[in-house]
Amino acid sequence: EIKQLALQLGATEVLFDQSLSPAQQRNLERALELPVNDRVMLILQIFAQRARSHEGKLQVELARLQYLSTRLVRRWSHLERQSGGIGMRGGPGERQIELDKRMINENIKKIKDRLVKVKKQRNTQRRQRERRDVFNISIVGYTNAGKSTLFNALTKAGTYAADQLFATLDTTSRKVHLDGVGSIVVSDTVGFIRDLPHQLVEAFRATLDETIHADLILHVIDACSPVAREQKAEVEAVLREIGADDIPRIEVMNKIDQMPQTFTEGAVLVRDSEGIPSQVFLSAKTGLGLDLLRSALAECSQMTDRIRVEQNRAKVQMA
């Protein structure tokens, strides 16, 4: 049925919205007589188009090589393999695969070494901020939830933002001045997605480190999305995977300007049972509710400062 549908539509490639094993991909290509790719390869291709910084390009290339390293048999299946008596080790196909694997593994090692250097640079910058006791905020959210739009609204940074998947891949950090607090640092991160391939989580570990070490997480949610609850769950799953699920957070319910019939009273700030800001309903695009968010950030920053003072006192007493 898939083959007939592909012929009717004049398709030149078949894409499956799930991960395929190398054997599945090979068998499907033989049966359909068309190139077959899966969800992981599509995401990698989008990432490759969006990456701009040196670090982002390294991370994408690492994930791509790790993906291809498991599919060399399919790539070289047209080469013959020899079989025979004692001492025979295989034909040209096996040698080509071994050569390709070695080249890919060498490139993976080089990229990992370069990413370690990038991570060290980030750690140095982070330690400098920590010594100055700068309040760090990390913006996370499902892809296309409006993270970069919110980042630009808060920081006036001019970061690229568009109505498309993974418009921003590279972490960008900017200082923001809050009345009554002073300077804080806000970081925009890569958008999350359902069933995020594990190798992508590993490859983007250096970028996600900004989230791991944040004092506060702003979880941006597309309030008008019909699957907002599912998208929220996906983001929380990734936060748990990278060890950031215990960091204080505020849910930013974005895009309320697209559903005025629901938010007739405009922007709203919601507090939890302890009186701490937990949700802000706003529109990053129009600026509606940004004042409420800034006041919530200032409040959380002051709370963190008090905690740091108490921790420093405890250290002095123990010394």
Please tell me the least confidently modeled range out of 44-58, 74-88, 192-206, 215-229.
Answer: 74-88
- For 109-146, how does the pLDDT look when each residue is reduced to its tens digit (9 = 90+)? 998 898 888 878 877 776 766 666 788 899 999 988 99
Cα-only R_g, the chain = 24
Question: In the prediction, which pLDDT does 73 show?
Answer: 54
Close Cβ partners of 83 (under 8 Å, ≥ 6 residues apart): 90
Q: Is the pLDDT of residue 195 over 50?
A: yes
Question: In the prediction, which pLDDT does 6 show?
Answer: 85
Question: In the prediction, which pLDDT does 231 show?
Answer: 92
Q: Are strands 135-141 and 216-222 parallel, antiparallel or unpaired?
A: parallel
- Among 62-71, 116-125, 229-238, which range has the highest average pLDDT? 229-238
Q: From the centroid of its chain, how far is CA 299?
A: 27
Task: Please compute the mean of the pLDDT values over residues 63-77 and round it to a whole number.
Answer: 70
Please tell me the least confidently modeled range out of 88-92, 135-139, 143-147, 198-202.
Answer: 88-92
- For 257-285, how does the pLDDT look when each residue is reduced to its tens digit (9 = 90+)? 888 666 666 788 999 999 999 999 999 99
- For 279-317, how does the pLDDT look when each residue is reduced to its tens digit (9 = 90+)? 999 999 999 999 999 999 999 998 887 877 777 777 777
Task: Please compute the mean of the pLDDT values over residues 15-43 and round it to a whole number.
Answer: 87
CA distance 196 to 25: 19
Question: In the prediction, which pLDDT does 164 show?
Answer: 47
Mean pLDDT of the chain: 80
Q: In what order do the strands lie in the sheet with 182-188?
A: 172-178, 182-188, 135-141, 216-222, 249-254, 277-281, 268-271
Residue % of the chain over a pLDDT of 90: 23
- Among 18-22, 108-112, 196-200, which range has the highest average pLDDT? 108-112
Please tell me the least confidently modeled range out of 23-37, 84-98, 174-188, 219-233.
Answer: 84-98
Q: Are strands 182-188 and 135-141 parallel, antiparallel or unpaired?
A: parallel
Q: Is the pLDDT of residue 74 over 80?
A: no
Please tell me the least confidently modeled range out of 70-74, 103-107, 112-116, 270-274.
Answer: 70-74
Neighbours of 46 (CB within 10 A): 17
- pLDDT band per the 50, 70, 90 thresholds, residue 44: confident
